[in-house]
Amino acid sequence: MRVLLVEDEPEMASALRAALKRYDTLVDHAPTIAEAEAALACDLHDAVLLDRQLPDGDGLTLLRRLRARAIASGSCCRSRRPGDRSAL
């Protein structure tokens, strides 16, 4: 399985990458929506692990664009915003 990790915080990206690699998952990393869109244009990924708070916008914006283009990758959003009691 090949996953695109869209995460701008280096420490979080490193931890998630290490965790996924333990399960033999290939992980590509994009710290911005723009870089994620460029990576996804290659159509190589089975899934997207997506942060919501990115430097160039809300990760849900990217998710909406992917769904509008009928991109088949599975997606999971991860977020912890001020006032949130839990995160995913």
**What is the per-residue pLDDT for 87?**
47
- Give CA–CA dist 14/7, Å, rounded: 10
Secondary-structure breakdown of the chain: helix, strand, coil percentages, each rounded to the nearest 5: 35, 25, 40
Tokens 């977020």 correspond to 79
What does the mean pLDDT of the chain come to?
85
Would you say the pTM of this structure is higher than 0.85? Answer: no
**What is the per-residue pLDDT for 68?**
82
Residue 80 in contact with residue 59, Cβ under 8 Å?
A: no
**What is the per-residue pLDDT for 26?**
96
**What is the per-residue pLDDT for 83?**
60
Domain boundaries, the chain: 8-25+34-78
Per-residue pLDDT of the chain (88 residues; tens, 9 = 90+): 999 999 999 999 999 999 999 999 999 999 999 999 999 998 898 889 999 999 999 988 888 888 887 655 555 555 555 565 544 4
